[in-house]
Chain A
């Protein structure tokens, strides 16, 4: 084993020196060359060298200690053989130091003496002077076995005579420590596992180990750059290297190649294969040229006229500076808040920071991310042109018109009309504005002169024949040439000629009514909804002014005239499919426009100019076209229960009062939902009304007030109506939880009449 290792070292050392010796008998095979080397142990030179090294060491050992450093003492692992070599090579001094540990080891002592002798006596010692054989040095004869097997025994093996080799005494840890502290050679002391003894490595050993560690030749003296000897020269020699005969394929043309060439030739002939062009440098580099020579748009790019360029990134502010003014830096709390916010919510996507000088500014970590996000924005975000209006914020605040501009409107109570003994439910003004008619729960209808407040006439209904004597509704015919008042009482609608004002008008009215002669065919064929009966001149009631009676099947709650004065409509809330009837005065005929009930009808109104009929049920207002006989609009009032309704004289705007205190303004051109809703009343709204000429409307409520509002409607369709509440008119007292029940504007003056549960009628001017 050990001899083999030694012999292995030798060829390395004397590789090519020996070659010359062996050259003559070396055979041609590689193996033989190397084996030849192996066979030739040549120790003479090595020994010589070793001894010379030794002699060198003797002189220079002490001062060279520092030069040799072993990085890793504990990691040092040497094979047994190596260690033995090392131990043989150790010099005197080392041996002296280790003297006590070698006690009982005669051979080593002998060796030491021998060495001393050799060192002292001769320059060139004889190679057999000392024992160089490894074999003899082996005292432990256990062989190549793991020495752990002896771990538990006091001995470490057996010598050649079979005696136990005792383990050398080992000190405890304290000794070890002292040794470590005191012994200058502690760092290069290793334990021989075979003998359990400590060996101090010599300088050469250390050098050798270092060489091995740094993957160099172990022997520092070895020549690394020997001249190259070309054994298998590229030059053609007379004799072949091998004696093998050449293979057949080396002198027969290849069939495979022939096939391939044939294919290529065919491809060339057919033009499938083309010679590759050599690449020029210009091709690889991009060539730029004058792309925008003429700034004309080509056909294909015309679509890009609608191209929206992406908005530019915002420019940095002071806060982004590397050295911002201190007020831009965040405080601790602000910074914490910033950290806790979601990245999308942050106002700034960076934390302002201050650096004392430019060289301390680091690279911004999110720079690439921000660029990437910008890229994503560019190709993933939808773009849309946004028309940014330059609006002065002050323009947005609606300007309240001055009260002076809103005038005239009624401001103060002028006249109180007293005379009724019960709640006055309804009033109406004649088209000239001279007379006022009022209907009350006491069963009387009174005619008043507006300017003086005098009761001109009072008609008390006979309770017996007509049942309930409540006057539900009175309406003066709006036509100035007709003097008629429609009175709804119980199931009857009575047309009364009050006989006030111009005599000509009253007489004319009577004459017209008299001259009527019914045409039989018409009245026969159709269903009769209301029973018309005229009152004879001889009748007592004729004196009172009664002209016509219309008997209805159900109780009538409201009558209203068409603007021309020929038609009027009556409402029977409980009449189901017959809840609205339209009567024609000139032909004394009634018709039912609807054959189906759409709910409980609250009130109806004629459109002032066009053939429309507004029908208010509890929650909706339907607008019917009477000519086409169809529904043209349905207004959502958004209130619980509609109480009353009024149409603007233009016909495009209506107001609706409801029992839930609201007043809603509808612009029919704009929407079916309220344009504006006013909630100035505290209690249910009972009546609403427009002024025919002035931009005024009024609402009467159970809280005893009448609220007058300015409601300007513009001819310009783009301009919304202007609605400003201007006056709260108080005066009526509340009785039985009822306040003001009706309000009517004077046809020509900015005056408003109101009637209430306190049995009075009041005029506000």
Chain B
């Protein structure tokens, strides 16, 4: 008369998980579509605590998803679009094989499209969430934005990524939120502080891409598809937060005459080129100029817990303000061998003016012969026709100045000089860690400087 014996694996962990194949069967998708869906929706597998129990006693290795997650995926309207797309491909193939041009054209025009807006909103309920997850998004978009045209990646992805990254860089320039830069052998790292979040991204070095064989570009494209949507909405929000037009409008667009480089371009292309030159400021929404920044009133030290805190915050704010205007009043000229876009982005982010030879790219604002140029960035051992009125420095000087928040002495950065080591600004030495001597010297110098200014 015992109780009815409960069958094994009918409750508990065994029912909370689902293997990948089970999930695919349940959703009635192909593996490729399932992957795309997981990428778009941000669903990842879970590791059960007791694999054997979940796998009903077997120890075969499997990937597990939460049943909850899969049920959640089953409600996604994009799945229907995937199915529609499958039908679309089937019909199109048929039309092509029958050489029915009319039908082919008609089917192509009705290609199913889907939007990812709701997924962005769903994955990132608040703007801060989205900003917190932006690092990978930015790095991927910058990678795709610099990719060459080729058979591996659709052009539309490349163009779209390029457009959005340019917009993002414009925002960083306009809001002066760049903080750290670093040239690594992998690429150039940037760190910006946007609405209190640290965003770090890496831009690959110049050209000379070699497409590796062991990379599945479809996976990357799916990521980029989602990331471009996300970055677009983030750009929109960011532009509006500092009262800029979105899509961006250049301040002096109409006034600039058409260059001979630009003659063969369409209106749209020309505009895009000028925008990606990064040399012009953007037009603001309110024409009367931005409102003044709100100054914090000084309160007597009521908060007894840390009276120094306000003081410290003020010093920090002062430091950031100094950094934001690091290159203010300086006029740079870039030689053609230096990475133009990177340097323009950095110099403009810190308030400097910059130009280049007009045959290098669209958007040069003043020629090399301009006497008011203070610095010329050169990456060759020697240059002919030097002007006496300006300094000639190597590009590393700009990077090191930014990381040290002050203009460094230029002697060791002159053309042809052996450069001092370029150190990573992201390393924060804890006590007892090894500190390179150059870094130690800089820290000492900064301390000394601060003491001087204090006295």
Q: Which residues of A contact B (CB under 8 A)?
A: 276, 279, 286, 288-292, 295-298, 300-301, 303-304, 307, 309-310, 312-313, 315-318, 320-328, 350, 352-353, 355-359, 361-372, 374-376, 378-384
**Separation of A291 and B230 alpha carbons in the complex (Å):** 10
A-B contact pairs, 9 of them (CB 8 A): A286-B232, A295-B128, A301-B122, A315-B426, A328-B436, A366-B212, A369-B214, A372-B215, A379-B39
Task: Kindly state the separation between the CA atoms of A376 and B220 in the bound complex, as whole angstroms.
Answer: 9
> What does the 1/0 interface line of B216-252 toward A look like (CB < 8 Å)?
1001100100000100110111001000001000000
Which of these binds chain A: B23-31, B80-88, B184-192, B382-390?
B184-192
* Contact indicator A316/B184 (Cβ below 8 Å): yes
CA distance A254 to B125 in the complex (A): 63
Cα-based distance from A367 to B140 in the complex (angstroms): 11
Centre residue among A276, A292, A296, A297 by max chain B CB count within 10 A: A292
B131: min CB distance to chain A, Å: 10
Complex interface residues of chain B between 22 and 79 (CB less than 8 A to chain A): 35, 38-39, 42-47, 63-64, 68, 72
A382 and B46 contacting across the interface, CB-CB below 8 Å: yes
Contacts of A368 in B (CB 8 A): 143, 209, 211-212, 215, 220
Q: Could you say which of B129, B235, B421 contacts A324, with CB atoms under 8 Å apart?
A: B421
Which of B199-207, B306-314, B443-451 is found at the contact surface with chain A? B199-207
**A755 CA to B147 CA in the complex, in Å?**
90
Sort A-B residue pairs by CB-CB distance and give the 7 closest, nearest first.
A315-B426, A382-B47, A363-B208, A325-B421, A292-B127, A323-B422, A320-B184
B 415-453 contacts with A by CB, 8 A: 418-419, 421-424, 426-427, 436-439
| Contact (Cβ within 8 A) B419 A367 | no
B200, A321: Cβ atoms under 8 Å? no
User: Which B-chain residue is minimally distant from A357 (CB atoms)?
Assistant: B379
> Is B133 a contact of A316 with CB atoms below 8 Å?
no
- For the complex, what is the distance from the CA of A370 to the CA of B202, rounded to whole Å? 12
Given contacts A292-B127, A382-B45, contact A322 B185 (CB under 8 A): yes
CA distance A229 to B178 in the complex (A): 70
Please tell me if the beta carbons of A367 and B143 are within 8 angstroms of each other in the complex: yes
Complex CA gap A238/B95 in Å reads 45
A295 to B124, CA, bound (A): 10
- A363 and B204 contact, CB distance less than 8 A: yes
A384: B residues at CB distance < 8 A:
46-47
The reply to whether B229 and A300 form a contact with Cβ atoms under 8 Å apart is no
Given contacts A304-B123, A310-B136, A358-B394, contact A324 B220 (CB under 8 A): no
Across the interface, name the chain A residue whose C-beta is closest to B186: A364
Determine the chain A residues whose CB is within 8 A of the CB of B127 once the complex forms.
292, 295
Residue of A nearest to B395 (CB): A358
A328 CA / B184 CA spacing, docked (Å): 13
CB distance from B78 to the nearest CB of A (A): 14
List residues of chain A with CB within 8 A of the CB of B136: 310, 313, 374, 378
Neighbouring B residues of A327 by C-beta, 8 Å: 436
Closest to B72 in A: A303
- Whether the Cβ atoms of A325 and B47 lie closer than 8 Å is no
Chain B proximity of A41: nearest CB distance (Å): 50
Residue of B nearest to A291 (CB): B233
Complex contacts, A292 vs chain B, CB 8 Å: 121, 124, 126-127, 130, 233, 237
Q: In the complex, A380→B208 CA distance in Å?
A: 30
- Given A358-B394, A368-B211, A371-B139: A379 touches B35 (CB 8 Å cut-off): yes
Chain B 162-192 against A: per-residue CB contact (8 Å), 1 yes, 0 no? 0000000000000000000011111101000
Report if B367 contacts A (CB, 8 A): no
Chain B residues with CB under 8 Å of chain A are: 35, 38-39, 42-47, 63-64, 68, 72, 106, 109, 117, 120-130, 132-133, 135-136, 139-140, 143, 160, 182-187, 189, 200, 204-212, 214-216, 219-220, 223, 229, 232-233, 235-237, 240, 246, 337-339, 379-380, 394-396, 418-419, 421-424, 426-427, 436-439
What's the minimum C-beta distance from B228 to chain A, rounded to whole angstroms? 8
Tell me whether B189 and A367 are in contact (CB under 8 A). no
Report Cα–Cα, A324/B200, bound state, in Å: 20
| Interface majority SS (helix, strand, loop, mixed), chain A | loop
How many angstroms between the C-alpha atoms of A358 and B184 in the bound complex? 10
A379 to B212, CA, bound (A): 21
How many whole Å from B444's CB to the nearest CB in chain A?
16
Q: Knowing A362-B205, A378-B44, say if A290 contacts B135 (CB, 8 Å).
A: no
Query: What is the minimal beta-carbon distance from A362 to any residue of chain B, in angstroms?
Result: 6
Report yes or no: A369 in contact with B215, Cβ–Cβ below 8 A: yes
Residue of B nearest to A366 (CB): B212
| Contact (Cβ within 8 A) A357 B394 | yes
Cα separation A590 to B421 with both chains bound (whole Å): 92
Task: Check if A364 sits within 8 Å of B204, measured CB to CB.
Answer: yes
In whole angstroms, how far apart are the Cα atoms of A324 and B439 in the complex? 11
A310, B123: Cα distance in complex, Å: 13
A375-B223 contact given A358-B395, A384-B47, CB 8 Å threshold: yes
For residue B179, give the distance in angstroms from its CB to the closest CB of chain A: 13
Q: Which residue of B lies closest to A285 (CB)?
A: B247
With a cutoff of 8 Å between Cβ atoms, the chain B residues found around residue A369 in the complex are 212, 214-215
CB-CB under 8 A from B72, the residues of chain A are 303
- Interface contact B424-A321, CB-CB below 8 Å: yes
Contact status of A289 and B236, CB under 8 A, knowing A321-B424, A358-B395: yes
Q: What is the chain A residue whose CB lies nearest that of B219?
A: A375
CA distance A321 to B438 in the complex (A): 14
Contact B220 A372 (CB under 8 A): yes
Residues of A within 8 A of B423 (CB): 318, 321, 324-325
CB of B219 within 8 A of CB of A372, answer yes
* B186 and A320 contact, CB distance less than 8 A: yes
CB distance from A749 to the nearest CB of B (A): 52
Q: Which residues of A contact B160 (CB under 8 A)?
A: 286
Give complex CA distance A16, B72 in Å. 80
Residue of B nearest to A283 (CB): B113
Check A290–B236 contact: CB distance below 8 A. yes
Q: How close is A354's CB to chain B, nearest CB, in angstroms?
A: 9
Contact in complex: A358, B240 (CB < 8 Å):
no
CA distance A365 to B185 in the complex (A): 10
**Roughly how many angstroms separate A433 CA and B160 CA in the complex, as a whole number?**
94
With a CB–CB cut-off of 8 A, which chain A residues contact B215? 368-369, 372
Nearest residue, chain A, Cβ from B128: A295
Residues of A within 8 A of B212 (CB): 365-366, 368-369
- Measured in the bound complex, the distance between the Cα atoms of B139 and A374 in whole Å is 11
Bound-state CA distance A70–B105 (Å) is 53
Q: Which residues of A contact B185 (CB under 8 A)?
A: 320-322, 350, 352-353, 355, 361, 364
Task: List the A residue with the shortest CB-CB distance to B139.
Answer: A371
**Contacts A364-B205, A367-B204 known; A357 to B419 CB distance under 8 Å?**
yes
Considering residues A279, A322, A381, which has the most beta carbons from chain B within 10 angstroms of its beta carbon? A322
CA–CA, A350 to B187, complex, Å? Answer: 12
With a CB–CB cut-off of 8 A, which chain B residues contact A317? 424, 426-427
B15 shortest CB reach to chain A, Å: 18
**Can you name 9 extra interface pairs (CB under 8 A) apart from A289-B233, A363-B207, A375-B140?**
A320-B186, A321-B423, A322-B184, A350-B186, A356-B419, A365-B210, A372-B216, A379-B42, A382-B44
Tell me which of B126, B129, B160, B421 has the highest count of chain A C-beta atoms within 10 A of its own C-beta. Answer: B421
Q: How far apart are the CA atoms of A352 and B421 in the complex, in Å?
A: 13
Q: Give, as a whole number of angstroms, the nearest-CB distance from B13 to chain A.
A: 15
Which residues of chain A are near B128, meaning CB under 8 Å? 295
Question: Which chain A residues lie closer than 8 Å to B210 at the CB level?
Answer: 363, 365
Q: Which residue of B lies closest to A298 (CB)?
A: B125
A359 to B206, CA, bound (A): 10
Pairwise interchain contact B44-A312, C-beta atoms closer than 8 A: no
**A324–B434 Cα gap in the complex (Å)?**
14
| Interface pair B205/A361, CB less than 8 Å apart | yes
- Quote the shortest CB–CB distance from A188 to chain B (angstroms): 47
Q: Is the CB of A370 within 8 A of B205?
A: no
Q: Which among A304, A316, A370, A381 is the interface contact of B189 at CB below 8 angstroms?
A: A316
Contact, CB under 8 Å: A316 / B182: yes
Most B CB within 10 A of own CB, among A276, A286, A300:
A286
- Is A288 a contact of B438 with CB atoms below 8 Å? no
Q: Cβ of A301: which chain B residues have Cβ within 8 Å of it?
A: 121-123, 125
